[in-house]
Copies of this chain bind each other. A is one copy, B any other.
Amino acid sequence: MRKREEMALITLPAIRRAAVCGGTHGNELTGVYLVPELERQRREKGDCIWPVPVTTVLSNPRAVKECKRYVDKDLNRCFTSAILSSPVTDTTPYEVRRAQELNALLGPKGTKDAADLICDLHNTTANMGLTVISYSYTDWVALHVYKHLQEKITNVPVRLILLNIPISDAYSLESVARHGISLEVGPQPHGVVRADIFDIMKEGVDVVLDWIKTFNSGKLIEGGEVDAFMFEKSVDYPRDPEARKPLAVIHPQLQDQDFCVLKRGDPLFLTFSGETVRYDEEEQLHPFFINEAAYYEKGIAFHLARKKTLVLPSVRLKSD
């Protein structure tokens, strides 16, 4: 048995300002519909429904209007420090301008003025249940929020992906905040709202806000262990070397099996001529974002992750 390490206690400043963002990808409709619904609730019942001021944002309104992922460029790849500080000219893509606007509203990234927590809402066509994506394995707020989601949401698998990229290179919207998470819920076709997926996301946002309330109240939040999937690499479809067209589809035995363990010999792809392409690595890794529609143009059939157990310290509010 694994020896249980003694848990540390870490004190952290209060979460004073949070943001919930939807429509960062304009055709991922759960967030596009949930953000106005949160705003409707606030109009009806007042700010007091939330434990802290929550900025609600429809991140890419032009893409939302056209019901497409983006207009000129994937907005959720525009939040690196380099792009956020690049000069704006007449030819600057719409999403780069919009990223800089959002950075002014919710950041600036890496400064003390930045929002304490951004929760960005996404959908995937992959069978990923509720997946939390975050950047760092030492961001105790993000990791404790994930732990709370996993404890509270029991009708769907809840998992954590860590990208482990330095914050300046982190490219997605939530990296603008001091602590950022994105919530991915699927499977759902882009351009569709499903009631079941909407409910999971709504519950997810409620649980995030509930964690903030508990934490801000000064109560001790116990540490413990959580499993994380550490991003390792992306795998493309087998392609025709000249025309670059895919020669295969995700194997039916792999389709919908996100986060399963891949062992040498397991099927990955089925070519149109009927051959099975198999996993050929020594190390057992875990695939995710399997057959995500938005990744066809990026040359990604799925990502692979290494599973790792993280030990979280207990956390409590730092007294002023």
Q: Does A218 contact B (CB under 8 A)?
A: no
A296:B37 contact, CB within 8 angstroms: no
Main secondary structure of the interface of A (DSSP, over half): loop
A198-B36 CB under 8 A given contacts A191-B190, A291-B192: no
A272:B37 contact, CB within 8 angstroms: yes
B272:A194 contact, CB within 8 angstroms: no
Name which of A33, A37, A193, A250 has the most chain B CB atoms within 10 A of its CB.
A193
Q: Does A17 contact B (CB under 8 A)?
A: no
In the complex, which residues 260-317 of chain A have their Cβ closer than 8 Å to any Cβ of chain B? 270, 272, 291, 293-294, 296-297
Q: Does A252 contact B (CB under 8 A)?
A: yes
Task: Across the interface, name the chain B residue whose C-beta is closest to A293.
Answer: B191
Determine the chain B residues whose CB is within 8 A of the CB of A270 once the complex forms.
195
B36:A255 contact, CB within 8 angstroms: no
Bound Cα distance A246, B191 (Å):
13
Q: How many copies does the complex hold?
A: 2
Render A175-213 as a binary contact track against B, CB cut-off 8 A, 1 for contact.
000000000000111111111101100000000000000
Bound Cα distance A33, B270 (Å):
13
Bound Cα distance A148, B245 (Å):
33
The listed residue (B191, B195, B249) touching A255 by CB distance below 8 A is: B195
Determine the chain B residues whose CB is within 8 A of the CB of A188 once the complex forms.
189
The listed residue (B195, B249, B297) touching A194 by CB distance below 8 A is: B249
A293-B251 CB under 8 A given contacts A40-B272, A272-B37: no
Bound Cα distance A130, B270 (Å):
22
Render A56-85 as a binary contact track against B, CB cut-off 8 A, 1 for contact.
000000000001100000000000000000
Q: Does A100 contact B (CB under 8 A)?
A: no
B40:A195 contact, CB within 8 angstroms: no
Determine the chain B residues whose CB is within 8 A of the CB of A68 once the complex forms.
68
In the complex, which residues 112-150 of chain A have their Cβ closer than 8 Å to any Cβ of chain B? 125
A194-B255 CB under 8 A given contacts A40-B272, A272-B37, A293-B189: yes
Determine the chain B residues whose CB is within 8 A of the CB of A255 once the complex forms.
194-196
Determine the chain B residues whose CB is within 8 A of the CB of A195 once the complex forms.
249-252, 255, 270
The listed residue (B198, B252, B272, B293) touching A190 by CB distance below 8 A is: B293
B249:A193 contact, CB within 8 angstroms: yes
Determine the chain B residues whose CB is within 8 A of the CB of A245 once the complex forms.
36
Determine the chain B residues whose CB is within 8 A of the CB of A67 once the complex forms.
296-297
The listed residue (B193, B199, B272, B293) touching A192 by CB distance below 8 A is: B293
> Can you add 20 more A-B contacts, CB < 8 Å, to A68-B68, A190-B293?
A33-B246, A33-B272, A36-B245, A187-B189, A189-B189, A189-B190, A189-B192, A190-B190, A190-B191, A191-B293, A192-B293, A193-B249, A194-B250, A194-B255, A195-B251, A195-B252, A195-B255, A196-B255, A198-B249, A199-B252
